[in-house]
Structure 1
Amino acid sequence: MCRLLGVVTRAPLPLDTALDGLVGPFTELSLEHRDGWGIAAGQGTGSSPLVVKGIEPAAGTDSWGRTLAGTVTDAALLHLRLASPGLPVVPGNTHPFTVGTVAFAHNGYFTPYDALDELIAPELLAGAAGSTDSERYFLRVLTLLRETGPADALARAAADVRERAAAYASLNCLLLAEDALYAYADEDPESEVSRRRGPDFFRLRYRVDEDRVVIASSGIPQPDDRWTVLPYREVLEIRRADLRVTTTRAAPHSGPAPSTTLAHVNRR
């Protein structure tokens, strides 16, 4: 299992400044989630995100600290990996994954890892860098992005996993796009991991401050009066232009369009 952290700020900042108060607690999680780390940072319009990865634990790794201090951006996602049994700790399996202007990171697993292969555009599948279920999840999202928006693509890809996989623990993920950062929350409460780690392990929570919005996995301090739980099977959208935050409830494949609720408009 893994840990996720995302941030969008009103103006570009060094990541360690944008994540003030969160870097230390999040880095400490890599003492358990020690099978690599990755950071994707948004760049200018039309540009691919800057992606830096390592296959060692983030804690005590110079490149982790240098990347946080030296990367100036208004939007980023961070990932700490705890590899699923049998999956090698190699760069190709290290999150985030990126294609074009989009980056993606996943917390959880599903089996078999190739459950979505028939639903992925052949040229995307041929370009897979590694052997993880997480990358296949991303490639299914990319395939859906050719016909729909990011929130719907995330919800539909997750529904495909639930329909086709033999088992899954969590489908929590972050998607960094040119205009927004998206988060999706989903869990099987009957999975072995959920029963062993407890009901809070796969919770995603977000926090809206005056000049930033953050979304994070459990494991760092998240006092209830400052953090809001992202309900399961909902998509959170944080707009990079104005920090506008909305949540969208996923609809069934054959049901009506998803419902969208304004969660917060962060004004100057």
Structure 2
Amino acid sequence: MCRLIGAVSRHRAPVADLLGDDLDPFIRLACEHKDGWGLAFRQEDGTIGILRGIDRADDSDRLQHALKHQLTDMAVLHIRMASPNLAVTVNNTHPFGDARAAFAHNGEIRPVAALEKLIDPDLLATAAGTTDSERYYLAVRERMNRGVTPGDAITLTAQAITQSSDLVVSLNAMMLTPTGLYAYAQHDPHSEVIGRRGPAYFGLSYRQEEDLVVVASEGWPQPAGRWAALPDGEVAEFPALHP
């Protein structure tokens, strides 16, 4: 299970400035979510850049440098708690994607074979790692390759996974594209993981200001007057604010 945070700003600035006061408490969650980190951001030319590491986010000089010096107007940061039996490798580290999109997931889907049936074999062959999360992304990517909009691609993929998989703990995800940030919240309230972690563990919330939107997992104080919950089973789209 993992933690996610994303931001969309009207102004380009270091990622740390976009996330502001939420960054430090988010990074401190790496004391438990210690199996790597990944950062996606829109670059000046409009493409998506991705950095990943397998060290702890709160002890990574490379991540700290990127947070302080990478200028952007949109970003997603993921810190990983690896699911059982999934290796801690760069290829298994979120976000997955390329210059067109970056995708990060918080949850667990079984069996992986059910996911693979949703992906064209040629696209599935591009998978670099062994995670359910990467295959979730590739199923979304396949629909996007056919011209489906990112938001609809996530929704349709989530529906297909729910219908075809034996276990869907959570399909919470964030996807960053050159045109915006997409956030999707869906989890099984009866999952044994919910029992272990508490009912709010898979909540996704957002706070919105005139020139900034921040979307994030639960895990640190998010006052109700400042944060609002994302509806379950719906894609929330936060379009780019910067030209």
Structure 2 unaligned regions, length at least 5: none
Alpha-carbon deviation of 1:175? 0.5
Q: What's the counterpart of residue 228 of structure 2? A: 228
Cα distance in 2 between the residues matched to 1:28 and 1:88: 22
Q: What's the counterpart of residue 175 of structure 2? A: 175
Give the alignment's Cα RMSD to 1 decimal: 1.3
Alpha-carbon deviation of 1:14? 0.4
Taking structure 2 as the reference length, the TM-score comes to 0.96
Q: What's the counterpart of residue 28 of structure 2? A: 28
Q: What's the counterpart of residue 190 of structure 1? A: 190
Percent identity, please: 46
1:68 aligned onto 2:47 = no
Bigger fraction of residues in helix: 2
| 1:4-35 deviation line (CA, Å, top 9, x unaligned) | 00000001110111111011000000100000
Cα distance in 2 between the residues matched to 1:173 and 1:185: 7
> How has the CA–CA distance of structure 1 residues 10 and 101 changed in structure 2, closer, same or farther, with 3 Å as cutoff?
same
Residue aligned with 2:213, SS: strand
> How has the CA–CA distance of structure 1 residues 122 and 46 changed in structure 2, closer, same or farther, with 3 Å as cutoff?
farther
Asked whether the equivalents of residues 109 and 171 of structure 1 are also in contact (C-alpha less than 8 Å), the reply is yes
Alpha-carbon deviation of 1:64? 1.5
Q: What's the counterpart of residue 126 of structure 2? A: 127
Alpha-carbon deviation of 1:195? 1.8
Asked whether the equivalents of residues 50 and 98 of structure 2 are also in contact (C-alpha less than 8 Å), the reply is no
Letter in 2 for 1:115: A
Alpha-carbon deviation of 1:134? 0.1
Written as runs of structure 1 = structure 2, the 5 A alignment for 1:37-52 is: 37-44=37-44, 47=47, 49-52=48-51
Q: What's the counterpart of residue 142 of structure 2? A: 143
Alpha-carbon deviation of 1:43? 1.6
Taking structure 1 as the reference length, the TM-score comes to 0.87
Cα distance in 2 between the residues matched to 1:221 and 1:210: 22
Cα distance in 2 between the residues matched to 1:220 and 1:11: 26
Letter in 2 for 1:231: P
Runs of 4+ in 1 over 6 A off after TM superposition: none
Alpha-carbon deviation of 1:137? 0.2
Cα distance in 2 between the residues matched to 1:56 and 1:189: 31
Q: What's the counterpart of residue 77 of structure 2? A: 78
Q: What's the counterpart of residue 110 of structure 2? A: 111
Asked whether the equivalents of residues 12 and 242 of structure 2 are also in contact (C-alpha less than 8 Å), the reply is no
Cα distance in 1 between the residues matched to 2:115 and 2:45: 30
Asked whether the equivalents of residues 49 and 99 of structure 2 are also in contact (C-alpha less than 8 Å), the reply is no
Alpha-carbon deviation of 1:52? 1.0
Cα distance in 2 between the residues matched to 1:73 and 1:117: 34
Alpha-carbon deviation of 1:99? 3.0
Cα distance in 2 between the residues matched to 1:75 and 1:242: 9
Asked whether the equivalents of residues 8 and 212 of structure 2 are also in contact (C-alpha less than 8 Å), the reply is yes
Alpha-carbon deviation of 1:220? 2.1
Residue aligned with 2:82, SS: coil
Letter in 1 for 2:156: R
1:56 aligned onto 2:49 = no
| 1:126-179 deviation line (CA, Å, top 9, x unaligned) | 110100000000000001112311111111111111111110111000010111
Residue aligned with 2:56, SS: coil
Cα distance in 2 between the residues matched to 1:89 and 1:154: 26
Cα distance in 2 between the residues matched to 1:45 and 1:202: 34
> How has the CA–CA distance of structure 1 residues 45 and 122 changed in structure 2, closer, same or farther, with 3 Å as cutoff?
farther
Letter in 1 for 2:92: N
Residue aligned with 1:233, SS: coil
Asked whether the equivalents of residues 102 and 177 of structure 2 are also in contact (C-alpha less than 8 Å), the reply is yes
Alpha-carbon deviation of 1:221? 1.9
Alpha-carbon deviation of 1:46? 5.3
| 1:205-228 deviation line (CA, Å, top 9, x unaligned) | 000012210000001221000111
Residue aligned with 2:235, SS: strand
